[in-house]
Structure 1
Amino acid sequence: MSLPTKKKSGTAKSKWAKLYWAVPAALVALLLVVLLAKWITGLAGVKDFLAAYPGHSELPEGTPAGFPAWLAWQHFLNGFFLLLIIRSGWQVRTQTRPAAYWTRNNKGMIRTRNAPTKISLALWFHLVLDALWILNGIVFAVLIFATGQWVRIVPTSWDVFPNALSAALQYASLNWPTENGWVNYNALQLLTYFITVFVAAPLAFVTGLRMSSAWPKNAKALNKAYPIEAARAVHFPVMIYFVAFIVVHVFLVLATGALRNLNHMYGGSDDVSWVGFGIFAASVAVMVAAWFLARPLFLSPIASLMGKVSSR
């Protein structure tokens, strides 16, 4: 009995040792990046490049400024759903024995010839969140194109690429580009938001759909053209991208003028006040509460409204 315990303990110590060395290694790497960027931005040719491309593209005439109230709600709902999607997705990926299972009621609008597949309660929660997130995304897409807000996150000129490189060099050298998100994002932000909304989100949807029980299993030609292994190979890295995006996004919001940035998104103004911070703090409290309430004890009554919940 002692040998497996020692082996397990040794494995755990090995993992902690790797993490122990990873932290200082990451700090040294960041320091080298900063020093390299400072050296590069000090070169005469690079100085001329930074002067020609300050880090942001000019927006088309008539582009709306500021953030409407609906965008604040969209931002909160997107963050809320995405946080729980990541939590439930990681649980589905790592759990060995689900605490509960869910089986869809095979009646009403959704009725199939074959019996519904029994899935874990965590997977049910993940799929429900996916559906709500997609619905929120559709509403977001409709509204940004209807109000002209799309211009702020979709490149409209080729100079966005040299400007993005300029912004990256400025960030890396700690001489951060001037922030004026109320009117115009810098080019690196614009490209990141574009990739997140129009590339990463659709990839999460199409790969998640392929992996779900809703996908037709008997469609041989379709399954051969789009194998589930390809979807799995993309779905997890997309989740990692979203985690990295959230971490960097929140860090930059707080590090580049927290009160003003939070007022942009939550307070609906370009003022420097505590209004936006207060609303942001309340939204974080809601997310934290949802994180801890997303357990079988609280999910089972809700899931039972849509199907049968069982322990095995």
Structure 2
Amino acid sequence: MTANGGRLSAFAQSRWFKLVWIVPAVLVALFLLVLAARGIRALPAVQSFMTDFPGATTLPAGAPVGFPAWLAWQHGLNGFFILFIIRSGWQVRTVKRPTMFWKRNNTGVIRTKNPPTKISLSLWLHLSFDTLWVLNGVLFYVLIFSTGQWLRIVPVSWSVFPNAVSAAIQYGSFDWPVESGWVNYNALQMLTYFVVVFIAAPLALLTGLRMSPVWKSKRLSAIYPIGVARAVHYPVMLFFVAFIIVHVILVFATGILRNLNHMYAVRNDESWLGFGIFAGTVVLMIVAWFAAQPVVLRSIASLTGSVTR
């Protein structure tokens, strides 16, 4: 077998080979989806439906307008944390024989009755970013309910559902819904953000806790088997990946400067400030991604435990 033949054979057996089939299949599915949405939208009954339900619902009186600075910081931190949660979680799932392990120091203020458990360095990284993500999330919950921002992402009227269908048809036909995110998300955005914040995130936390080394209760284990947690945790991760991809594409496609100003600069205009801040966060993520090598992680992990090969 030639060297090129060996490389092709190895590539065919790798997990990346699936992308050779997945990417074209996704593109064909998207093309058919757009054709179907355009055909459906042209129907008189659907046009009448979209007139009655244009895609957004009216927010309750007193709902805040615009975005506070703390929400921009939360959004940026959340993006950074979840990037490394997904990366380290994938490593935990795919690496069969880890080369480095971390064990907690069972002394001082963190001393417990349970002996420390040795875990892979990838799992240590995953749990570390999980902790930061959860702390950021708890603060987020406190702030959205204390400032009224929850009114922007929690449906309070049944009309949100037909309006979400209308918005989906508009997105699918590539004739975007009228955007006014500074004042009010469209119904499909509202439902999606509600699912992310109040369903997917808690599911990720609850299933992750069951699979983590900190879970010691045998009585609760009988009620909540680890197999159930594993069956839910991975699809939730895939949901977050899909959400991030679609979210970024739509941010860029539906008015990149205004959207990035909303998310990063806390202003409702088309200046380049938000784009500049966003670009800075992307550079930071790239630098951190390449810096997260075993030699660096080992030095950081050693501050709270012992790292062995």
Q: TM-score range by the shorter chain?
A: over 0.9
Contact 1:101 / 1:310 at 8 angstroms: preserved in 2? yes
Pairwise mapping of residues 79-94 of structure 1 onto structure 2 (< 5 A)? 79-94=79-94
Q: Which residue of 2 aligns with 1:228?
A: 226
Q: Give the Cα separation in 2 of the matches to 1:129 and 1:19.
A: 28
Pairwise mapping of residues 139-288 of structure 1 onto structure 2 (< 5 A)? 139-216=139-216, 219-288=217-286
Shift of 1:21: 4.0
Q: Give the Cα separation in 2 of the matches to 1:7 and 1:282.
A: 41
Can you list the C-alpha shifts for 1:25-53, whole angstroms capped at 9, x where unaligned? 32222121111111111111111100000
Q: Which residue of 1 aligns with 2:131?
A: 131
In structure 2, the residue corresponding to 1:109 is in which secondary structure? helix
In structure 1, the residue corresponding to 2:307 is in which secondary structure? strand
Shift of 1:8: 9.0
In structure 2, the residue corresponding to 1:158 is in which secondary structure? coil
Q: Give the Cα separation in 2 of the matches to 1:100 and 1:245.
A: 32
Can you list the C-alpha shifts for 1:168-216, whole angstroms capped at 9, x where unaligned? 0011111110111100000000000000010000000000000001001
Matched, 1:301 2:296: no
Q: Give the Cα separation in 1 of the matches to 2:19 and 2:87.
A: 22
| Letter in structure 2 aligned against 1:96 | K
Q: Give the Cα separation in 2 of the matches to 1:98 and 1:258.
A: 41
Which shows bigger deviation, 32-41 or 257-266? 32-41
Matched, 1:25 2:25: yes
Q: How many residues align?
A: 306
Shift of 1:110: 2.6
Q: 1:291 aligns with which of 289, 292, 298?
A: 289
Identity over aligned residues, as a percent? 63
Shift of 1:113: 3.2
- Provide closer, same or farther for how the CA distance between residues 308 and 20 of structure 1 changes in structure 2, counting only shifts above 3 A: closer
After TM superposition, the score normalised by the length of structure 1 is: 0.93
Q: Which residue of 1 aligns with 2:44?
A: 44
Shift of 1:7: 9.1
Contact 1:99 / 1:296 at 8 angstroms: preserved in 2? no
After TM superposition, the score normalised by the length of structure 2 is: 0.94
Shift of 1:17: 6.8
Q: Give the Cα separation in 2 of the matches to 1:11 and 1:102.
A: 32
Which shows bigger deviation, 262-271 or 14-23? 14-23
Shift of 1:11: 6.4
Structure 1, unmatched stretches of 5+, are none
Can you list the C-alpha shifts for 1:69-112, whole angstroms capped at 9, x where unaligned? 11010000000000000001101111122231111001123323
- Compute the RMSD of aligned alpha carbons: 1.8
In structure 2, the residue corresponding to 1:103 is in which secondary structure? strand
Contact 1:57 / 1:187 at 8 angstroms: preserved in 2? yes
Q: Which residue of 2 aligns with 1:12?
A: 11
Shift of 1:9: 5.3
Shift of 1:10: 3.9
Q: Which residue of 1 aligns with 2:67?
A: 67
Q: Give the Cα separation in 2 of the matches to 1:147 and 1:301.
A: 40
- Provide closer, same or farther for how the CA distance between residues 78 and 28 of structure 1 changes in structure 2, counting only shifts above 3 A: same
Q: Give the Cα separation in 1 of the matches to 2:81 and 2:169.
A: 33
In structure 1, the residue corresponding to 2:110 is in which secondary structure? coil
Q: Which residue of 2 aligns with 1:113?
A: 113
Shift of 1:22: 3.5
